[in-house]
């Protein structure tokens, strides 16, 4: 059986401001010592928050644009025009230095379109129905998933992942059954599709006459025109006591207090968008990019960088609902991680980009 390198969660405006005086702005309390300790991207298959605790999530209190979801057929083709420009990519204050978050460097990206949200289960279902596509996870014997499984599935598992015991190998886990055979997406059609590999994501984007965004495009879009900020909305994780992303609250991995309203993925656009009108750029599900992985970056000015010409892993951005600052402090615009192109997991999805609106 082939082996996948799976990331683990925790170890967790269309104009850009002037680049002057940019040093040292991304600042929050230092992440916990285990912030990169989940083995993210290493496994093989077999606050800067508010001073007061954030309130329990509700779409009304968070100002979430519930009416913006609209009809799925309409949302399916919605993309945001991003006018491009120059920005400072990466950070000189890395949360996880080993991931190659720095150095901060000047980058210019040309104009492009980006999906307003992650590709949903319903959208991916349309693709599969039209093409008969079979994902890589459906062709593999097992998938890894967090220990948040039904007792029936757990009873059929006789081993864990030694490097990260909160992950378990699950037979039959795929995009239609994200947590195994006794799960389904019937009530999650507007959630991001997960358990899709980089190859699966590329196939969908090609079918839709789109492509995967580069890491530079993704980060430019995530920042939404803000300079030297940790998150798409600023430097505070929960400004004014509101949740702006689907992340893990409580103690990882033993207890998710669900303060943002969700323990797994959430419907797309459940939280406020950034200044570019993009939703769920951090949290909810990791997102594939087109770049091969490298931790070495030039400080020279770059125009539309696309990463190395080859490699073994692909870059993913944004973190997921499994991210917690004590382990996976990767729900920041500059944060990054990697997986092999055939990897799939219950918190890994994607969105598409294009030079033209589709």
Which of the four pLDDT bands, split at 50, 70 and 90, describes residue 195?
A: very high
Instruction: Give the whole-angstrom CA distance, residue 153 versus residue 156.
Output: 5
Which of the four pLDDT bands, split at 50, 70 and 90, describes residue 212?
A: very high
Q: Name the domain count of the chain.
A: 1
In this structure, how many other beta carbons lie within 10 angstroms of the beta carbon of residue 171? 13
In this prediction, residue 252 carries a pLDDT of 85
The pLDDT tens digits for 12-25 are: 333 333 233 333 46
3 lies in some domain: no
Average pLDDT estimate for 132-155: 66
Average pLDDT estimate for 328-334: 96
Strands 314-317 and 79-82: unpaired
88 lies in some domain: yes
CATH code at position 204? 3.90.1580.10
Contacts of 50 (CB under 8 A, 6+ apart): 236, 237, 238, 239, 240, 241
The pLDDT tens digits for 73-88 are: 443 569 999 999 999 9
- 112 pairs with which residues across the strands? 82
Which structure tokens are listed for 103? 């150095």
Which of the four pLDDT bands, split at 50, 70 and 90, describes residue 194?
A: very high
Which of the four pLDDT bands, split at 50, 70 and 90, describes residue 170?
A: confident
48 lies in some domain: no
Enter the DSSP assignment of 114.
E
One-character DSSP codes across 225-278: T-SS-SBTTBS-SSGGG---S----EETTTEE--TTS-SS---TT-S---TTS-
280 lies in some domain: yes
12 lies in some domain: no
Average pLDDT estimate for 301-321: 98
The pLDDT tens digits for 60-114 are: 444 444 333 434 444 356 999 999 999 999 999 999 999 999 999 999 999 999 9
204 lies in some domain: yes
128 lies in some domain: yes
In this prediction, residue 26 carries a pLDDT of 61
In this structure, how many other beta carbons lie within 10 angstroms of the beta carbon of residue 308? 12
The pLDDT tens digits for 247-304 are: 999 988 888 989 999 999 999 999 999 999 999 999 999 999 999 999 999 999 999 9
Q: Which region among 41-55, 228-242, 342-356 has the lowest average model confidence (pLDDT)?
A: 41-55
DSSP SS3 for 18 = coil
Average pLDDT, the chain: 81
> What is the domain extent for residue 304?
80-134+190-354
142 lies in some domain: no
In this prediction, residue 49 carries a pLDDT of 33
């Amino acid at each position: 059986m082939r082996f996948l390198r799976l990331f683990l969660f925790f170890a967790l405006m269309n104009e850009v401001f002037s680049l002057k005086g940019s040093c040292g702005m991304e600042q929050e309390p230092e992440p916990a010592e285990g912030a990169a300790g989940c083995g993210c991207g290493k496994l093989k298959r077999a606050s800067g928050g508010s001073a007061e605790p954030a309130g329990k999530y509700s779409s009304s209190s968070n100002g979430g644009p519930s009416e913006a979801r609209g009809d799925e057929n309409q949302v399916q083709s919605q993309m945001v025009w991003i006018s491009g420009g120059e920005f400072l990519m990466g950070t000189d204050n890395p949360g996880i230095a080993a991931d190659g978050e720095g150095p901060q460097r000047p980058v210019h990206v040309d104009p492009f379109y980006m999906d307003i949200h992650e590709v949903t289960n319903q959208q991916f279902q349309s693709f599969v129905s039209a093409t008969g596509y079979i994902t890589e996870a459906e062709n593999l014997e097992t998938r890894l998933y967090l220990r948040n499984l039904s007792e029936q599935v757990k009873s059929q598992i006789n081993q864990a992942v030694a490097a990260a015991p909160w992950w378990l190998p699950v037979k039959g886990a795929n995009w239609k059954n994200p947590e195994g055979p006794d799960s389904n997406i019937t009530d999650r059609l507007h959630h991001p599709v997960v358990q899709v590999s980089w190859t699966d994501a590329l196939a969908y984007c090609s079918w839709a006459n789109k492509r995967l965004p580069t890491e530079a495009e993704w980060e430019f879009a995530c920042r939404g025109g803000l300079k030297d900020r940790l998150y798409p909305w600023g430097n505070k994780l929960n400004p004014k006591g509101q949740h702006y992303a689907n992340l893990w609250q409580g103690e990882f991995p033993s207890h998710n207090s669900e303060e943002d309203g969700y323990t797994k993925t959430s419907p797309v656009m459940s939280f406020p968008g950034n200044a570019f009108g993009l939703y769920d750029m951090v949290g909810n599900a990791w997102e594939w990019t087109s770049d091969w992985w490298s931790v070495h970056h030039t400080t020279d000015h770059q125009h539309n960088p696309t990463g190395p010409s080859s490699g073994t892993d692909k870059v993913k951005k944004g973190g997921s609902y499994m991210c917690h600052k004590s382990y996976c402090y990767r729900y920041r615009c500059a944060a990054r991680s990697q997986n092999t192109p055939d990897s799939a997991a219950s918190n890994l999805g994607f969105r598409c980009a294009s030079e033209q609106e589709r």
